[in-house]
Amino acid sequence: MIVYLNGDFMPVEQAKISPMDRGFLFGDGIYELIPSHSGRFVGFNLHLDRMNNGLDAIGIVRPDISVRQWLEISQQLLERNEGTDLGIYLHITRGDEGRRYHAFPEKVTPTVFAMTTPIFPFLGEPDSETQPGLSCYTAQDKRWKRCNVKSTALLGNVLHFQDSYSRGGNECILYNADNELTEGSASNVVIVNDNQIITPPLDEQILPGITRHLMIESLRKEGGFGVSERVIHMDEVRGADEVWVTNSGVHILPVVTLDGRPVADGKVGPVWEKARACYNRHCFDLNV
Ligand code: PMP
């Protein structure tokens, strides 16, 4: 695999990062995953904007790389690596000051790393009859209070994911101390009730997912769907007609069991099929 590190492309075996890098020592960094299918990116600029917002939020100086250069780096990675469904993983840390000390170093150059990672194949025509649904478990959200920042420090997410995975689950769906839905350990969550497509509002409890955004934009663009962003109690999730998760690696996938119990009749729902088809029609063209 060919990766990019601090200005150069190289085989992954040659990519060396110091153990004194704050990304290694503290998880002090920001990351992104930008999906591409047959060389076409989904939401490229939106991902870069969110990455820059994250860097600003934690005081990492933005690397001197323009949008055009990010695009070139990403295209180079696609060309040099195999696969039609590839995510471009970007990872920027505060850098290496040569010692382990909590305070931000005064003069340090961020470490910039990028690679490709295989993602879920793009669904041509979504079909609720053949699409397997996900099984998820739920848990109280025990992560930090700034989940809107896409920090590389993912221990909380990893522990939640593992908790579900060890029971055969595909994702862990989280709720806050008030029993309100937040998001998944690696995804945003959407429910459908009485044909209304509902997802929690953006705040510090959730990541502002690009897939979530593109889904809402495509549904509003086509019209005919009821879409709202509001607080969702877990009772509503457990009684929902449909539950979906969204992220850049899978786009929008249906959940058919929650904590071992079926969601509605336990089958992939019709609204998912329509919404996913609508998203598929627009996602490459919205804000790329
Ligand atoms: N929430 C969390 C915690 C995530 O890790 C992700 C995926 N990175 C998402 C939501 C979905 O974000 P996106 O659609 O931008 O991939």
Question: Cα–Cα distance between 271 and 254 in angstroms, integer?
Answer: 10
The atom number, within ligand 1, closest to the CA of 147 reads 3
Distance 186 CA to ligand 1 centre (A): 5
Count, residues in the chain? 288
Look at the block and give the residue holding tokens 């497509």: 197
Contact 246, 188 (CB under 8 A): yes
Question: Cα–Cα distance between 39 and 54 in angstroms, integer?
Answer: 26
Question: Cα–Cα distance between 83 and 57 in angstroms, integer?
Answer: 34
Pocket of ligand 1 (CB under 6 A): 33, 157, 183, 186-188, 207, 209-212, 246-248
Distance 248 CA to ligand 1 centre (A): 7
- For ligand 1, atom 10: residue with the closest CA: 187
| pLDDT recorded at residue 124 | 86
**Closest among 111, 97, 93 to 5, alpha carbons compared:** 111
Fold exhibited by the domain 2-118: D-amino Acid Aminotransferase; Chain A, domain 1 (3.30.470)
Distance 189 CA to ligand 1 centre (A): 10
pLDDT in tens, the chain (288 residues): 999 999 999 999 999 999 999 999 999 999 999 999 999 999 999 999 999 999 999 999 999 999 999 999 999 999 999 999 999 999 999 999 999 999 999 999 999 999 999 999 999 899 999 999 999 999 999 999 999 999 999 999 999 999 999 999 999 999 999 999 999 999 999 999 999 999 999 999 999 999 999 999 999 999 999 999 999 999 999 999 999 999 999 999 999 999 999 999 999 999 999 999 999 999 999 865
**267-279 burial: b if 16+ Cβ within 10 Å, else e:** ebbebbbbbbbbb
The atom number, within ligand 1, closest to the CA of 206 reads 1
Q: What is the pTM of this model?
A: 0.97
Q: Where in the chain is the domain with CATH 3.20.10.10?
A: 134-282
Question: From the CB of residue 233, how many other CB atoms can be counted at a distance below 10 Å?
Answer: 13
| 150 a catalytic residue | yes
Q: Where are the alpha helices (DSSP H) in 130-209?
A: 155-165
| pLDDT recorded at residue 288 | 54
The atom number, within ligand 1, closest to the CA of 248 reads 16
Tokens of 163: 């908790």
Q: Where in the chain is the domain with CATH 3.30.470.10?
A: 2-118
Tokens of 235: 């009772």
Question: Cα–Cα distance between 223 and 209 in angstroms, integer?
Answer: 21
State the CATH class of domain 134-282: alpha beta
Question: Cα–Cα distance between 46 and 284 in angstroms, integer?
Answer: 12
